[in-house]
Amino acid sequence: MARIGVISISDGRDYVHGGIAGFIRTAEDKLADRLGAAGHTVIRGSAPVSTNTLATSVAREVAAVGVDLTVLHYAVWAFPHFTMLAAGSLPGPLLLLSNVDPVQPGMVGMLAAGGALDQIGREHIRLWGDPDSAELIIQIGVHAKAAAAVASLRGATFGRIGGRPMGMNTAVANTDQWQRQFGIDVEEIDQWEIVRRAELADAGEKVKAREWLEQHANVHYDGEKLTPALLERQIGSYMAMRELIDEWNLDFTGIKGQPELTQYFATMDIAEALLNDPYDWNGPKESHVCATEADMDGALTMQLFKQIAHTPVLFADVRHYHSDRDIWDLCNSGQHATWFAARSDDPAENLARVHLYPEVFFFPAGGASVHHLAAPGEMTLGRLTRKDGAYRMQLMLGSFESYDEDTNQALMKQSTFEWPHAFARLDAPAEMFLSRFGANHIHAIPGDHRATVRTACSLLGVTLDEFTRA
């Protein structure tokens, strides 16, 4: 959850403030309790703001602790210039919240303060209601989670392993634009580092990982394109990436892979799947966003989605449209984290549904492809794409579906069976999607997170391009 600052703004007349300070504190207590019960960390101002000096000092105290969102709380009429002074010391997003009490005119105070902020161009959000309203607490939480996700991008480092893959311009972003708009640095690393480090990786750990995969997943060796040695080479590539992530302090990454590694070394399917998983053979870990084909905009979307949903994020090609069923086969070599097979906290449950097949002819170097069908459920799907140089979030709701075993197998065999699949029903007509969507890659997280994504886009200065059948 998020870290939320709460600062109550009061009347600047001593004799008035003295009579309402208790009312303000009681209202703030309730707000803080409800936000805390929702799982947020609440940082409260040391006192209601009733003077110009308190406006600045209390705001600086809250800002110094570090919060994702600051709620300026109006339980009573409040002098508007206190809000202006506080805002000057609060660098992050602001949410103005008023009560709905007919006696104490907090709403009047919020409107006066919000109008003053409008005059100087300070962006803010306004909400109103009783903290006992579950809907109000959810709304505040949406804005706070979005602010936390956006804040996590600023100061992050993306590790790009290799360059543009196979002429895909949509996979390459402007590093200056990333620094200016998102505060993200890009570290360029050669793919040779994967080859070099994979060969030097601990042989015992490679064997341990291979045996773990053989025990929990379904490994289909063929003696040519997939052998124990090739699988260990892929595991070594994952270990190499973990080293690079730790040494360079990389927050999220992308591996070019094609055509050099897939043609002469091994596919990165195992490395990319395990990086995006919340576990490996050594136990639970935090999932790391790694995009195949060094897809920068894909990785950026995934990193934002991960910070919003706190789950692994799916990466896929929009591979095929089954018009008779109105579903899409989202399929891309290796990129689906194995977690999506069952979305279980138990890796054994997920891996029981995973098959490691010999790679297909596209990738002559061989190795295992990570095959499974994503578990059904409601999903938020989207991608940050660019139109005329400006970022837009192309966003939609959808669901993953699964059918009887024969139908699942038949549908997967219509594309590349050996790769991972997700059968997606989108809240968008096929004509709309194919006419407007700005890339061949798409990303997904479980649940409906559209409200949080919309707020994050507003904070990032990203245009929202939402798809719907409505």
**37: CB partners within 8 A, 6+ apart:** none
Whether this prediction's pTM lies above 0.85 is answered by yes
CATH 3.40.275.10 for the 157-466 domain, yes or no: yes
The single-letter DSSP state of residue 339 is G
Lay out the sheet containing 157-161: strands in order across.
Answer: 185-189, 157-161, 252-255, 290-292
Task: Give the model confidence (pLDDT) of 186-232 as tens digits.
Answer: 999 999 999 999 999 999 999 999 999 999 999 999 999 999 999 99
393 φ, ψ (degrees, to nearest 5): -100, 115
At 122, list the tokens. Answer: 């300070």
Sign (positive or negative) of CA dihedral 357, 358, 360, 365: positive
Domain 3-153 adopts which CATH fold?
A: Rossmann fold (3.40.50)
Spatial contact of 239 and 197, defined as CB atoms under 8 Å apart: yes
- How is the chain split into domains, by residue range? 3-153, 157-466
Give residue 470's pLDDT: 87
Which tens digit of pLDDT belongs to each residue from 13-48? 999 999 999 999 999 999 999 999 999 999 999 999
**Nearest partner of 178 among 187, 167, 169, 191, judged by Cα:** 187
| Distant-in-sequence, close-in-space partners of 36: CB < 8 Å, separation ≥ 6 | 42
Mean pLDDT calculated for residue range 220-249: 98
Calpha distance 89→49 (Å, rounded): 13
Instruction: Give per-residue pLDDT as tens, 328-361.
Output: 999 998 678 999 999 999 999 999 999 999 999 8
Q: Which amino acid is at 441?
A: H
Give the integer Cα–Cα distance in Å for 24 and 43: 16
For residue 120, report the phi and psi dihedrals to the nearest 5 degrees. Answer: -100, 5
pLDDT digits (tens, 9 = 90+) for 300-325: 999 999 999 999 999 999 999 999 99
